[in-house]
Structure 1
Amino acid sequence: MMFLVIFALVGVATADDWQCTTSVAANGQHGQCAHVDTCPYHYFVSNKCPSYGNDVKCCYNCHLGGCSTSGGGSSGGTSGSGSGGYGNIMEVDTTGASGQTASQDNIWYSGVGASHQLASNDLGRLNNYKSQIFDAANAKNMDAAVIAAIISRESRAGAALAADGTGDNGNGFGLMQVDYRYHTPAGGPYSTEHIKQGTQILIDTINCVKRNHPNWDNNMTLKGGISGYNAGCGNVQTYAGMDGGTTGEDYANDVVARAQWLKGQGF
């Protein structure tokens, strides 16, 4: 019976695809060779599907649906390729991190490049929570890269947290720094439940920005919601000035730039 099952599994894929189909990602899913445009949330690795061209990767989110080796399929119910339902982070304009934020890691320059370096410095820790991030992203229809970027900015992917999971002088909790003053934290500081709660707070803020600025498109309200995650929806008065009053005067611009970089790192 065991030999029959193995034969059946091999029969559904090209023989050379075993490197992908036998691998398991942090989310517990086996890989499936799929065109990059159809892999939900772009959760894939390269060089495991030698039977196909360069556009076919080993995708670990095919259980969400949409995967196809020919491309052009859906993205697991999201709007856009791995962008979630709240705009496309790759299309959002950004000026990146301020000098104040960059100085956390002794980076002497500011801007998008500084944000990329900050995210790169956090990548190893972010990968430790990749499964939880994608579980929350899938549950909330939010771009995993946006969640990861907020985690990078808020807690440096856990490096800035105390032993009890608190930060911000005890006012924030967990990877996403849910504020005790306005919310009752859910789950442990590194848990999927916590990340879902933080993501829902982000979504609520995006929707608040939409109500306040009905003429803004989805990408504008996504950026506004990110800014409001730090300083509140009411602080988002104008598009150009939304980061005034945020920590470092750069919150949304920095998070957007980090998210755009993290998109290329499997988020």
Structure 2
Amino acid sequence: MTYGGIVVITDSGASWHTAEHYKLTCQGVDACRTIAKTHSERIRNYKTEIEGVGRIYGIESTLTAAISSRESRARYVVHDGWEDWNPSRQAYNAWGLMQVDVNPNGGGHTARGEWDSVEHLCQATEILVYFIDQIRKKISDLSKEQQLKGAIAAYNAGDRKVHSYAKVEENTTGIDYSDDGVGRAEWYEHNRFNG
């Protein structure tokens, strides 16, 4: 793929924080595999769309599947496409399978398409590609795979909060967003979205 291969990225998997959120007794790569497998049936419903978007942007479709798993549990937690209620704004912060940040004080994006549409998946993937470019400019001595992992962290925390590869997770949700994402993507890669 254009932006590096998921299966060669080093990851430590899901943190205890993330594992506990799913009521798991394991952490790390085992937790990623368990969560990815749990979401695989819902992910499989979007396999054709996810694979098509991956081909358009040169992003491994398993990464799109993994981000959808992490962000919306592959649609399980969305309410008419929305998630992450913000009481101070009296509005939701995120839209769709991949939870595009629509908070004006966050990503500030405008939701495109239906929450589970190819248009939404394209928008979210464009945001990820933007972050790959930003990380490449910011930390230029990284391999493609390291840039991709940094961009996955930036998809969650913003590129201003990714300062180095060594501390790529320090500002991400659960302190494991890219490690967990890569671990889930690897499971989807080996299982091609199947349960």
**Length-normalised TM-score, structure 1:** 0.67
- Please name the residue that 2:93 is paired with: 171
How far apart, CA to CA, are the structure 2 residues paired with 1:195 and 1:104? 25
Letter of the 1:149 partner, please give it: A
- Please name the residue that 2:2 is paired with: 85
How far apart, CA to CA, are the structure 2 residues paired with 1:266 and 1:96? 19
The answer on whether the counterparts of 2:162 and 2:171 sit within 8 Å (CA) in structure 1 is no
1:259 aligns with 2:175: no
Letter of the 2:96 partner, please give it: G
Letter of the 1:188 partner, please give it: E
How far apart, CA to CA, are the structure 2 residues paired with 1:213 and 1:139? 26
Q: Offset at 1:168?
A: 1.2
Q: Offset at 1:235?
A: 1.0
3-state SS in 1 of match to 2:98 = coil
1:107 aligns with 2:29: no
- Please name the residue that 1:116 is paired with: 33
Q: Offset at 1:229?
A: 0.2
Judge which range, 143-152 or 100-109, deviates more.
100-109
The counterpart of 1:141, out of the listed 49, 52, 58, is 58
Deviation sequence 1:162-215 (CA, Å, 0-9, x none): 1x2101111000000001121011100000110010001000001100000111
Q: Offset at 1:132?
A: 1.1
Q: Offset at 1:139?
A: 1.2
Q: Which has the higher contact order (CA 8 A, sep 6+)?
A: 2
3-state SS in 2 of match to 1:167 = strand
Provide the aligned C-alpha RMSD in A: 0.8
Alignment of 1:50-61 (within 5 A): none
The counterpart of 2:171, out of the listed 241, 245, 252, is 245
Q: Offset at 1:105?
A: 2.0
- Please name the residue that 2:88 is paired with: none
Letter of the 1:204 partner, please give it: Y
Moved over 2 A (4+): none
**Length-normalised TM-score, structure 2:** 0.92
3-state SS in 2 of match to 1:258 = helix
Aligned pair count reads: 183
Q: Percent identity?
A: 38
- Please name the residue that 1:126 is paired with: 43
> By percentage of residues, which structure has more helix?
2
Alignment of 1:54-69 (within 5 A): none
Larger radius of gyration: 1
Q: Which runs of 5+ in 1 are unaligned?
A: 1-83
How far apart, CA to CA, are the structure 2 residues paired with 1:263 and 1:90? 8
3-state SS in 2 of match to 1:264 = helix
